[in-house]
Structure 1
Amino acid sequence: MTKHPLLQMIKLQKKGTPVGIYSVCSANEFVIEAALERGKQTKSIVLIEATSNQVNQYGGYTGMKPKDFMKFVEKIAKKVNFPMDRIILGGDHLGLLTWTHLDEKQAMKEASKLIELYVLAGFTKIHIDTSMRVADDDQQAMLSTGVIARRGAELAEVAEKAYAKLKAKSPNALHPVFIVGSEVPIPGGAQEEEEGVAVTKVKDCQQTINTFHEAFLSKNLKEAWNHVIAVVVQPGVEFGDSTVIEYDRKKARTLTKSLKAYKNLVFEGHSTDYQTKIALKEMVEDGIAILKVGPGLTFAAREAMFALANIEEALLKGTKTKPSKFIEVLEEVMLKNPRNWQKHYHGNAQQLAFKRKYSFSDRCRYYLPNEKVQAALETLITNINTIGIPYSLLSQYMPVQYTKVREGIIPCTAEALIKDRIVNCMDEYLYATHQEKLG
């Protein structure tokens, strides 16, 4: 690539061609492998993003620094023979999120290091998010757009300096593109059930854009501003444990029409998980060209793992082969380490047990890397692949994959079945985005 594909996306959008891209916000190996395999089949660019609490200079909850995450993706790309130059690596909510317990000076120092490492590692889509209060901000007052923009411009300056260092070593390195704004819950999902969400007001969106523009220019960052391609808005979509707030283009129309005033900007929509493919298509048509999806992908992976566990139980009942007990092990680990779900799930014991397994928020994803869970998953995969799945059982638990197996589209292996369930979700985004037109 000699030009950033997302600049081509902007060009097409402004010509009236509804092209977008979906963002794989996940560090799950099955998810990333499925995305790259599907990208290869559809000849599409693939966008993969890591959040600042997932991947940072201290390792985040994945244990990976930005360079590690890049190598992690590179290893999977090599496995599936997908060219790295067709992968866009993005950093989501890069800024103060992980450092809100510090005062501004120290928090900005940490955020600056974070941004620098992402850019130096070759991440070329950078969401600068300075929308949260730090320790020495007034905790009772809303943070002003001016303060948010000033901090954001300071981090953009860091990114520009890091890019200059990178380009000195790698002359063909793409200039990163920037996303500003944050009209969404914190990364990881809302902590309360959403009863309704308000679409971003046009005046608030305009104020964000104008204030950021002024802040960038005040620091002589004209070139950086030319690479700001999107602003995060709330287009009226969200999901709870078992509910989804659908995109309503009529309610969002005033906001989406306001995009016409900006020749180089589109909207980025977060929490687009579980929207229908028609709703996703309408969002792209309305200028919400970057569609973030995370929990929806690991939710699909978890569904497939549970289906295989049920198949395993049916096959091994009354035999001497030891079952994986994957569902039980996952529950045991989640109960023993409740930190990643207890703020998000509410209710009585029965309701909590249900949500731990089946919530759309999919807090399960934080526990899949656990050693015990991984061991159970490996046993599950080994058992399934050793015994084989009768078509009648595959039809019972994974009817879509049953049809694909019968038609010779996918093999009947545990790994292929898990990845194809994830692809079911990805295909709805590919239907909406037409991202194969980006290169």
Structure 2
Amino acid sequence: MRTNPLAGLATARRNGSPYGITSICSAHPVVIQTAIRRAVRSKETILLIEATCNQVNQFGGYTGMTPDLFIAFVLEIASREGLDPSRIIFGGDHLGPNPWRTEPAAQAMSKAEAMVTAYVWAGFSKIHLDASMGCAGEPAALDDETIATRAARLAKAAEKAARAAGSALPAYIIGTEVPVPGGVDHTISDLKPTEAAAARRTIAVHREIFAREGLTDTFGRVIAVVVQPGVEFGSQNVVAYRPEASKALTGLLDDEPSLVYEAHSTDYQSRAALTALVGNGFPILKVGPGLTFALREALYGLDLIASEMIADYGDRSLARTMERVMLAAPGHWHSHYHGNEASIYLQRHYSYSDRIRYYWSNPTAGVAVGRLREVLDRVSIPETLMRQFLPMVPIELGSAGNPDAILQVAIGQVLADYDAACRRDTLPTPEGCNDAPSSVPRLGNHP
């Protein structure tokens, strides 16, 4: 039986031999398949795959999947690829009232309890308790006591579900000093890490209220706190990690030896920055849009290649289809992208926030992607076209006539940075982490 790597993160940091784990936050089948294939090849990797409250919940979320269906979906791919299910940890992200925050708190929290119960019943063993958002008639940002009290309520639901299911009691994540699920919807000009004093208070208030609610043992299974380390991406820009700005946060962990930090929105950070995050006490690296951004880059590159090579394919058939699909159902992007018509068009297709990811499961989009794969299947792509339209992919892959392999490699290049950052043997000491570059390289361009 392999050791659960989550259980050893704080100890490893305390012992001076930190390691990390990548949290894959995506429901796209090609992303999941790529991650699973990499795990199969590594033979020892434990995969952490997470679903968010908006993506997967008891009502289906935007994927149409309930928690049990999400696990079944992932395990079906794992079975097909030959990965032992025991090597997958399932996590629930931002589990709380966020999907129903326009409703009164009592109603939203009741639904949040049911969601947490459904997650734990299904087999999710890493639970992020996030009750930070105000509901109808409440301030947008709640006070620490209210957040912790609601988190304790959700923890009780999770504990009850685990005991009823006869499963192991979950590990928990608390805190949420990050944007709500979906990400930032504007250009970021100034981003400050969480103040160490604020993080200290978050931990203390949760510990106190959990104890008051008879959940002292439960708090003992809190393994990490979500804080803002100073990394984020908006629609059109990325803020790179600066280790010196989060030194106080790193120092706080010396007073909380059982805890580490969970870093959200690490998408598009360089390999050096990811490595520095792990070394500085942020070993849980969450990535999602960055993976589907790489997928979209590769699909659009193939779309351009097919436009040049295949006589009856049409001019950018996939991109034009995606534009029609997104315009027909603007709910996932309309309130997130701002500017004039030309700017919003570019954001729909090329934004770092990658809200196009919500549309790949649309049946019309699926047909267009299927046609693209079909017309390029067993077609040798000239080196010159690979250089022009897929510069992030090794040229020799074009001659193989396998578009699926190209998609896998594009996603895999992103995951390779995370794999490297999380390995013990590549991590500098925290004091040596100040060399992380402030610039963000293009996806697929690795040092």
Q: Which residue of 2 aligns with 1:223?
A: 217
TM-score (norm 2): 0.91
CA contact (8 A) 1:323 1:380 kept: no
The answer to whether 1:201 aligns with 2:195 is yes
Amino acid at match of 1:361: S
Q: Which residue of 1 aligns with 2:56?
A: 55
Bigger mean CA deviation after superposition, 33-42 or 206-215: 33-42
- 1:350 to partner: Cα distance: 1.0
- 1:354 to partner: Cα distance: 1.1
Structure 1 residues 164 and 436 mapped into 2: Cα distance closer, same or farther (>3 Å)? farther
Q: 1:359 aligns with which of 341, 351, 367?
A: 351
Q: Which residue of 1 aligns with 2:418?
A: 429
CA contact (8 A) 1:304 1:418 kept: yes
Amino acid at match of 2:163: A
CA contact (8 A) 2:376 2:401 kept: no
Q: 2:170 aligns with which of 165, 176, 183?
A: 176
Q: Which residue of 1 aligns with 2:23?
A: 23
The answer to whether 1:159 aligns with 2:158 is yes
Q: Which residue of 1 aligns with 2:292?
A: 298
Amino acid at match of 1:329: T
Q: Which residue of 1 aligns with 2:180?
A: 186
SS in 1 for 2:353: coil
CA contact (8 A) 2:186 2:235 kept: no
Q: Which residue of 1 aligns with 2:5?
A: 5
Aligned pairs for 1:219-298 (under 5 A) are: 219-298=213-292
Structure 1 residues 302 and 393 mapped into 2: Cα distance closer, same or farther (>3 Å)? same
What's the CA shift string for 1:299-324, capped at 9, x where partnerless? Answer: 000000001001101111xx346677
Amino acid at match of 2:77: I
Amino acid at match of 2:33: E
CA contact (8 A) 2:56 2:62 kept: yes
CA contact (8 A) 1:298 1:365 kept: yes
Q: Distance in 1 between matches of 2:401 and 2:219?
A: 49
Q: Which residue of 1 aligns with 2:125?
A: 124
- 1:391 to partner: Cα distance: 3.4
What's the CA shift string for 1:143-190, capped at 9, x where partnerless? Answer: 1100100110111111111111121xxxxx433110001001111111
- 1:404 to partner: Cα distance: 5.7
Q: Which residue of 1 aligns with 2:330?
A: 338
What's the CA shift string for 1:284-341, capped at 9, x where partnerless? Answer: 000011111111000000000001001101111xx34667710110011111211111
Q: Distance in 2 between matches of 1:380 and 1:194?
A: 35
Q: Which residue of 2 aligns with 1:309?
A: 303
What's the CA shift string for 1:89-138, capped at 9, x where partnerless? Answer: 1100001101212222222211110000100111011000000011243x
Q: Distance in 1 between matches of 2:30 and 2:425?
A: 22
- 1:41 to partner: Cα distance: 1.8
Bigger mean CA deviation after superposition, 364-373 or 3-12: 3-12
Q: Give the CA RMSD over aligned residues.
A: 1.9
Structure 2: stretches of 5+ with no match in the other structure: 427-447
Q: 1:379 aligns with which of 340, 361, 371?
A: 371
Percentage of identical aligned residues: 40
SS in 2 for 1:113: helix
Q: Which residue of 2 aligns with 1:418?
A: 407
- 1:421 to partner: Cα distance: 0.1
Q: Distance in 2 between matches of 1:180 and 1:132?
A: 13
- 1:427 to partner: Cα distance: 0.6
Q: Distance in 2 between matches of 1:105 and 1:98?
A: 14
Amino acid at match of 2:57: N
What's the CA shift string for 1:361-412, capped at 9, x where partnerless? Answer: 1111011111111100000000010433233322332244334638x9xx54
Count of residue correspondences:
425
Q: Distance in 1 between matches of 2:47 and 2:87?
A: 6
SS in 2 for 1:288: coil
Amino acid at match of 1:431: A
What's the CA shift string for 1:180-221, capped at 9, x where partnerless? Answer: 010011111112222111110111101100000011111211
